Amino acid sequence: MKSERLGEFEEFTLLAVRALGDNTYAVPIQQYVEKVTARAVSIGSIYAALARLEEKGFLSSTMSEAVAQRGGKSKRVYTVTPGGLRTARDLHRVRERIWNVIAEGGRS
Amino acid sequence: MTDQSPGSAKREGKLRLPLPARLLLRLSSVPRETRAEVEADLQELFVPRRSHRGRVHAHWRLYHDVASLWLQPHSPVPALTGDSTLSRSKFALLRDARLDLRYAVRLFARQPAILLLTIVGLSLGLGIATASFSIMNAALRGEGIVDPDRAPGVLRTTDRSQATAWAYEEFLRLREGATRMQVEAVMTDAAAARTGSAETAVPSVGVAFVSGGFFAATGGRTTLGRPLEPGDEQYVNEGGSAPVVVSFVFWTSRLNRDPAVVGRTIWIGRTAATIVGVAERGFSAPHNRLLWMPLTAYGAVYDAAPVKRTPDVGVEVFGRLLPDVALSEAEAQLSGVAAALPPDATAGNATLRARLDPDAGLGRVSSSDALAITLFVFALIGLVLLLACANVATVLIATAITREREMGVRAALGASRWRIVRQLVTESLALGAIAATIGLLCAYWAIPLIGTMVEAPSGADLTPDFKVYVFLAIVTLVTGVAAGLAPAWHGRGADLVTPLKGEGARYNRVAPRRFRSMLVMTQAASSVLLIVTATLFMRATFRAATIDVGFDAGGLYAVTPGLGRDAFANGGSGIRTFWARAISELQTVPGISTVTLAELTPFSDLTKSSVTSDGPSRVVYFNRTGAEYFETLGLRTLTGRTYTRAEVAAKAPVALVSESLARAYWPDQSPVGQMLPQQIPVAENRPLVIGVVADAITARLHERNAFAVYEPLDPASEVFAELLIRVAPGTDGVIDQARQRLRSIDPQADVKVASVAARLQQEAGRPRMLATLTGIVGIIGIVLCVIGLYGLTASVVAQRAREMAVRAAMGAEPLALLRLLMWDSLRPVVLGLTLGAGAALLAGRVVVAAMFFGVSPRDPMAFIGAAIILLAAAILAVVAPTRRAATVDAALVLRQS
């Protein structure tokens, strides 16, 4: 597994997959990211982010069964890998640390 | 798995993505395997958006999403990484083309001048090709007669004459008697047509008065309503307004394509007419007619009350052979009918026959004429395109020289030859596409303009049709590919190393230079060919306008009486009385110098001719005239005398011949006192030649046939005669006065006075059309040539900057350098000039001499003019860049490299 860094948008996407409870796919992810970031997100960028995340090993994907409501078309569902989770947590932790420093500095 | 889709409850399963979005998706870089999935995703997003936020928002977001897929550079769809089958999409080529296009745009953005030059050149070329094709297409489209070979004209033939005109009564008998063919008649005229009562400026439009079966016989169909039918002839007896079929052009231009036009009333001449149909687009037989009415409506259109129910002028008869009937069979049968016709005044005691001629009648251009024009125009279009193509190739080569390094780098990095060629072709195709669009706009703008210049008849439909677009598309493609391949060919076998070494290692290969010179030569040659032809045509136009018809057409007017049928009774005594009074009345009108009767007036559509029986058979025109005819026309008597009034009245067997005819049959002696030669067929007594008059061209201008025999117009023939009036120059209002006098003789007569000069001008229109066309093309040719030459010289000279610097450093004078560079650049031009002149000489021979109206194809003026124009243009194009190079600072250039 490559150890790669996460971009901001990739991070959102990764967290969205986790937040939606794994085994989710592009459409709900797009809707979620759009909702939480409060800005228009194109499906193309979601695809791109998912592809990069999978390439970096943060996500894994499988094809789902054909779903009747999608006109019989199957979809690719994503799950966050342990590596992805760890990286996201690391990132979060780094941020927390920095914010703590800022908070302390502000108090003093 | 939890279904997170918030809109799932409201999802309408049947709703599909809009078609454009699906198409765009197909064309995007999304691989085929995942396209269905992406489409499903898009739909899943689209449906709830649509129901929550409205259609506009949903569509906006949808196309935004599709665009995001397009913009992802490396097919971002996740499936690619998961699957090992990494198949190329069907549209991989398209993707590459997009890449090529992006390079092209980048290149053009760097060199906007080159882009501009090329596009200007190409759009001019494509525009002119499209416009000329479009006009020729319209001119040669024919008039919509189905299977014209089976619809021959019926010629009224006696032993000594044949004419296209038959009396209406004769036509009725022919129609009744014909069993092998359907016999129909048509008569063309013009009348003022008003489409609404409020219309003030009312243009006169071409009307065809036709027998009931005209549409059936010609195969003319209607877009709206119905064609005219045999029953329509009877409308005069049944009352009501005249039925009329309007042409597509009339419907479009005058009736605003009103879909409910059938049943509408318009006013034609003096009558109201009800539109019963709109003819199909492209049907305009004969002679670009805009309206078709029954023959029986002729009186209603032109006559004051009481209206005559049959036309009183000659009608043109044609037929449609019944299936499986041979022409000769129909001709024999119809001749039988014609022979049984009651002898009338004009036929004398000669037997009437009917001759069928598939090339006559119905406004047909003789096929050889049409073919010559087609070939000529296609040669012209080909030449222009060759020019444009060579031009673009030259410019692209000029850029390719400066891009050798880029190509070298790309090749070194592993780009295949095919890839590089494709890049070049894509570039020129992109240029071609832009140029085609501009060219089409130019053509749209130029077509009516050219149409006016060439005096296209108002009925002609010049708007580009489907064929024109196909033509443009093919031509653009071919030009684009050819122009793109040229630099590829130019750069063939290029080694990768040399260009990479940079400017210092310039090399000079011989082959590409030769190729370049060849392109310049081609351009120069085609320009010369064009200019020479244009000059020839231009001169031909002036010649045709001032062509010596042998008489002064200005101030000459032809009068037709438009009397009723009763005037024809008793051997036409009514008409004779009318003429007698008219002549004496008109002679008293101040400003009218002479008045005469003639069976045929100059450049009326009717002719009477016979074909000589000797060696190269010639057409000899016959005319019967009054004694003052020669004075009226202004024809000099060269030998002998003209016939006297007494001879005319007595119908004496005497004749005058034209100068050319006299020279042909009596080369060394005077024809006066001789009998008309046996080779010229005549029906009655062979007349005695009493004089020779100057040549006059009165029938087909381009034939310049001045073989004519004039005989006295006997009183019996006055029935079909017209009156010729010579108005003294510098007098005004004479014709109006004459018209009034004539009306006062017979208030019911529909007197028409036509200017012979106007008829002549119409006749002279054809070479003007070709001259205008070639002239425009020639000018564009020069512009293209200059553009190409400038671009090429600039780049070649820039390339040779180092060489020049070395020469300068070695002590060469700037003037010597200038001379060297100029000569190197101009050499191919001079070669091309010689080549083009040779080609023009050959072409002049090939292009029928008839079209040049007496201008020699070797007209030295044209050649010298062309050479001067081209050389001047070439020197202008070459001088600026070479001067820059010749005055180069040697030290600076050498330091740079």
Residue A82: inside a domain, yes or no?
Answer: yes
* Number of domains making up chain B: 4
Return the percentage of chain B with pLDDT > 90, whole number: 0
Q: Are residues B752 and B769 in the same domain?
A: no
Residue B294: inside a domain, yes or no?
Answer: yes
Q: Are residues B64 and B168 in the same domain?
A: no
- Measured between CB atoms, which of B8, B36, B45 is closest to A43? B45
Average the pLDDT over B233-246 and give the result.
81
Residue A2: inside a domain, yes or no?
Answer: no
Copy the structure tokens of residue B631: 């004075």
Among A10, A27, A64, A76, the residue to mutate for chain B (most B Cβ within 10 A)? A27
Residue A74: inside a domain, yes or no?
Answer: yes
Task: Measure the CA–CA gap between B125 and B667, rounded to whole angstroms.
Answer: 52
Copy the structure tokens of residue B806: 């070395």
**Residue B9: predicted pLDDT:** 39
Residue B94: inside a domain, yes or no?
Answer: no
Q: Are residues B754 and B774 in the same domain?
A: no
Residue B694: inside a domain, yes or no?
Answer: yes
B319-340: pLDDT as tens digits: 888 888 888 888 888 888 888 8
pLDDT averaged over every residue in chain B: 74
Last residue of a domain, one of B81, B114, B136: B81
- Measured between CB atoms, which of A20, A44, A63 is closest to B4? A20
Question: In which band, very low, low, confident or very high, does the pLDDT at B450 lie, cut at 50, 70 and 90?
Answer: low
**Residue B432: predicted pLDDT:** 80
Buried b (16+ CB within 10 A) or exposed e, B8-17: eeebeeeeeb
Residue B122: inside a domain, yes or no?
Answer: no
Kindly determine whether residue A31 and residue B5, on different chains, have CB atoms separated by under 8 Å: yes
Q: Does B81 touch chain A (CB under 8 A)?
A: yes
Within 13 A of B296's CA, how many CA atoms are on the CB side?
20
A-chain residue closest to B45, CA distance: A27
Task: Measure the CA–CA gap between B97 and B476, rounded to whole angstroms.
Answer: 18
Last residue of a domain, one of B357, B390, B411: B357
Copy the structure tokens of residue B221: 């169909």
Which amino acid makes up residue A47?
Answer: Y
How many contacts, defined by CB atoms under 8 Å, are there between A and B?
Answer: 88
Q: Are residues B582 and B490 in the same domain?
A: no
pLDDT above 80: residue B798: no
B187, β-bridge pairs: B209
Cβ contacts of B81 on chain A, cutoff 8 Å: 51, 54-55
* Number of domains making up chain A: 1
B271, β-bridge pairs: B268
Distances (CA, A) of B605 to B454, B794, B821: 21, 58, 61
**Residue B74: predicted pLDDT:** 47
User: Could you tell me which residues come within 8 angstroms of residue B275 by beta carbon, excluding any fewer than 6 positions away?
Assistant: B225, B244, B245, B246, B261, B262, B263, B264, B265, B266
Residue A66: inside a domain, yes or no?
Answer: yes
User: Could you tell me which residues come within 8 angstroms of residue B789 by beta carbon, excluding any fewer than 6 positions away?
Assistant: B394, B520, B523, B825, B829, B874, B877, B878
Which amino acid makes up residue B415?
Answer: A
Q: Are residues B35 and B168 in the same domain?
A: no
Last residue of a domain, one of B762, B793, B821: B762
The DSSP 8-state label assigned to residue B814 in this structure reads: H
Judging by DSSP bridges, how do beta strands B162-163 and B153-157 pair with one another?
antiparallel
Which residue from B9, B30, B105 is spatially nearest to B75, judged by alpha carbons? B30
Nearest-CA distance A11 → chain B (Å): 17
Q: How many CB atoms lie within 10 A of CB B339?
A: 11
Q: Does B59 touch chain A (CB under 8 A)?
A: no
Which amino acid makes up residue B655?
Answer: A
Task: Measure the CA–CA gap between B744 and B732, rounded to whole angstroms.
Answer: 20
ipTM score assigned to the predicted complex: 0.83
Copy the structure tokens of residue B34: 């995942």
Kindly determine whether residue A44 and residue B69, on different chains, have CB atoms separated by under 8 Å: yes
B60-110: pLDDT as tens digits: 888 888 877 776 654 444 443 333 333 444 445 556 667 777 777 777 777
Residues 208-267 of B with CB under 8 A from A: none
B630-666: pLDDT as tens digits: 888 888 888 888 888 888 878 788 888 888 888 888 8
Residue B87: inside a domain, yes or no?
Answer: no
Average the pLDDT over B829-833 and give the result.
85
Task: Measure the CA–CA gap between B723 and B102, rounded to whole angstroms.
Answer: 74
Per the CB < 8 A criterion, the answer to whether B595 and B628 are in contact is yes
Cβ contacts of B79 on chain A, cutoff 8 Å: 76
**Residue B767: predicted pLDDT:** 57
Residue B93: inside a domain, yes or no?
Answer: no
Q: Are residues B786 and B729 in the same domain?
A: no
Q: Are residues B718 and B808 in the same domain?
A: no
Per the CB < 8 A criterion, the answer to whether B804 and B817 are in contact is yes
Q: Are residues B162 and B204 in the same domain?
A: yes
Q: Which of A33-37, B86-90, B164-168, B712-716 has the highest mean pLDDT?
A: A33-37
> Which has more confidence, A46 or B760?
A46
Kindly determine whether residue B81 and residue A51, on different chains, have CB atoms separated by under 8 Å: yes
Task: Measure the CA–CA gap between A47 and B73, rounded to whole angstroms.
Answer: 12
Cβ contacts of A69 on chain B, cutoff 8 Å: 8, 11, 13
Task: Measure the CA–CA gap between B897 and B607, rounded to whole angstroms.
Answer: 80
Q: Are residues B306 and B247 in the same domain?
A: yes
Q: Does B32 touch chain A (CB under 8 A)?
A: no
**Residue B491: predicted pLDDT:** 59
Per the CB < 8 A criterion, the answer to whether A108 and A26 are in contact is no
Kindly determine whether residue A47 and residue B72, on different chains, have CB atoms separated by under 8 Å: yes
> B78 φ, ψ to 5°?
-55, -30
Residue B352: inside a domain, yes or no?
Answer: yes
B689, β-bridge pairs: B655
Average the pLDDT over B416-438 and give the result.
78
Task: Measure the CA–CA gap between B428 and B37, rounded to whole angstroms.
Answer: 37
- For residue A63, give its domain range: 8-107
Residue A92: give its domain's CATH number. Answer: 1.10.10.10
The DSSP 8-state label assigned to residue B704 in this structure reads: T
Kindly determine whether residue A69 and residue B13, on different chains, have CB atoms separated by under 8 Å: yes
B680-696: pLDDT as tens digits: 777 667 888 898 988 88
B180-214: pLDDT as tens digits: 888 888 887 777 777 776 555 566 778 888 888 88
Residues 871-890 of B with CB under 8 A from A: none
Average the pLDDT over A17-36 and give the result.
88
Kindly determine whether residue B37 and residue A76, on different chains, have CB atoms separated by under 8 Å: yes
Task: Measure the CA–CA gap between A27 and B63, rounded to whole angstroms.
Answer: 16
Residue labelled with tokens 């410019």: B395
Average the pLDDT over A5-32 and give the result.
87
Cβ contacts of A32 on chain B, cutoff 8 Å: 4
- Measured between CB atoms, which of A25, A61, A70 is closest to B82? A61
pTM as predicted: 0.49
Task: Measure the CA–CA gap between B694 and B350, rounded to whole angstroms.
Answer: 30
Q: Are residues B800 and B714 in the same domain?
A: no
Kindly determine whether residue B78 and residue A43, on different chains, have CB atoms separated by under 8 Å: no
Distances (CA, A) of B324 to B16, B176, B181, B888: 58, 20, 10, 82
Cβ contacts of B71 on chain A, cutoff 8 Å: 44
Residue B126: inside a domain, yes or no?
Answer: no
Kindly determine whether residue B40 and residue A76, on different chains, have CB atoms separated by under 8 Å: no
Among B35, B42, B44, the residue to mutate for chain A (most A Cβ within 10 A)? B44
Q: Are residues B567 and B522 in the same domain?
A: no
Distances (CA, A) of B81 to A1, A22, B667, B678: 15, 19, 98, 99
A-chain residue closest to B73, CA distance: A48
Residue A1: inside a domain, yes or no?
Answer: no
B463-494: pLDDT as tens digits: 666 777 787 788 778 877 877 777 666 655 55
Cβ contacts of A61 on chain B, cutoff 8 Å: 78, 82
Kindly determine whether residue A64 and residue B1, on different chains, have CB atoms separated by under 8 Å: yes
Among B3, B4, B16, B84, the residue to mutate for chain A (most A Cβ within 10 A)? B4
Interaxial angle between packed helices A26-37 and A8-19, expressed in degrees from 0 to 180 and rounded to the nearest 10:
110
Q: Are residues B338 and B262 in the same domain?
A: yes
**Residue B366: predicted pLDDT:** 47
B833-888: pLDDT as tens digits: 888 888 877 766 655 444 555 556 667 777 788 788 878 888 887 787 777 776 76
Per the CB < 8 A criterion, the answer to whether B575 and B720 are in contact is no
The secondary structure of B386-428 as a DSSP string is: HHHHHHHHHHHHHHHHHHHHHHHHHHHTT--HHHHHHHHHHHH
- For residue B34, give its domain range: 8-81
pLDDT above 80: residue B579: yes
Copy the structure tokens of residue B122: 């190409």
Kindly determine whether residue A71 and residue B69, on different chains, have CB atoms separated by under 8 Å: no
Which residues of A have a CB under 8 Å from any CB of B? 20-21, 23-28, 30-32, 40, 42-45, 47-48, 50-51, 54-55, 61, 63-64, 69-71, 73-78
